[in-house]
Amino acid sequence: NEELLINSEKLYVAGQLAAGIAHEIRNPLTSLKGFLQLLASGRKDTGTYYDIMKSELTRIEGIVSEMLMLSKPQVYDLSYHDVRSSMRETVTLLETQAILHSIMIETDFGPDPLWVYGVENQVKQVFINVIKNAIEAMIDGGAIRVRMRRVDDTVQIRISDEGPGIGETQLSKMGQPFYTTKDKGTGLGLMVSYKIVDNHQGNIQVDSQLGSGTTFEITFPFRYPETNSVKKSG
């Protein structure tokens, strides 16, 4: 039942986006075709064509991979899982990229298991998208702080960065399909993340101001494993 719900949501989003995606992909394709014609006409490339063509291809690639995320006929493996593991894996995955940008990722997961019921890969995708944005925002380096706690019947995840912050106008556009301020952005990461969190009966909030950093607060219902014989700690 819950699976059906996730599936129909997914179809809805995909349908809604089809026109937008086609448009977003056609632009770089048109540009690629133009440069190919220039090269075919015998014009010499001083390196500029190559750079532009490569960045257009990267853009298409980015759009396609994020769309695959949505449309994968992937098994929706619903499970009770401790989101501390998903976060640990995410941090490991992104650490190299962070270090390259002089960024430290500090984690504080607390002592207790943080049980969530849902699709583990999708939840992990949300963590990846948000932390990746934080890394990309912090051009001068600094610290990203990840704090996770159980708060009453929810699992609360706070991700803070020391980036430039987000102004009000920008804040209201975030999560809209294809809204990006990056040259090579897709503007799909947050939209996908909001959708996933919503499908998990969770909540996501952004607290930010220009000049100070940004904090994403994600909450999921705390769902103790029913079929599991693990005893509540404490």
Residue with tokens 């948000």, as numbered in its chain: 130
Closest to ligand ADP by CB, 98 vs 191, is 191
Cα 185 from Cα 178, distance rounded (Å)? 8
* Angle, CA of 141, 182 and 168, to the nearest 5°: 85
* Amino acid in position 82: D
Tell the smallest beta-carbon distance from residue 199 to Mg ion (Å).
19
Closest to Mg ion by CB, 113 vs 189, is 189
Q: Shortest CA distance to 38 belongs to which of 28, 21, 26, 50?
A: 50
Binding map of Mg ion across residues 172-201, x = CB under 5 A, - = no contact: -----------------x------------
40 Cβ neighbours under 8 A, 6+ residues apart: none
Closest to ligand ADP by CB, 105 vs 137, is 137
Rule CB under 6 A: say whether 207 interacts with ligand ADP.
Answer: no
Stretch that binds Mg ion, among 22-30, 101-109, 130-138, 167-175 (CB under 5 A): 130-138
Tell the smallest beta-carbon distance from residue 41 to ligand ADP (Å).
34
| Residue 162 near residue 121, CB atoms below 8 Å | no
Tell the smallest beta-carbon distance from residue 194 to ligand ADP (Å).
9
DSSP structure class, residue 88: H
Tell the smallest beta-carbon distance from residue 230 to Mg ion (Å).
35
**φ/ψ of residue 176, rounded to 5:** -75, 140
Q: Shortest CA distance to 156 belongs to which of 119, 199, 112, 190?
A: 112
Q: Shortest CA distance to 77 belongs to which of 154, 156, 188, 2?
A: 2
Binding map of ligand ADP across residues 98-137, x = CB under 6 A, - = no contact: -------------------------------x---xx--x
Q: Which residue's Cβ has the minimum distance to Mg ion? A: 189
Tokens matching residue 115: 């049980």
Tell the smallest beta-carbon distance from residue 186 to ligand ADP (Å).
4
Alpha-carbon separation of residue 197 from 6, 91, 215 (angstroms): 11, 19, 16
Tell the smallest beta-carbon distance from residue 170 to ligand ADP (Å).
6
Altogether, the residues listed in the chain come to a count of 234
161 makes contact, choosing from Mg ion, ligand ADP, none, with CB < 5 to 8 Å by partner type, with ligand ADP
Restricted to residues 153-192, the positions that interact with ligand ADP (CB under 6 A) are: 161, 163, 166, 174, 179-182, 185-191
Binding site for ligand ADP (CB under 6 A): 129, 133-134, 137, 161, 163, 166, 174, 179-182, 185-191, 214
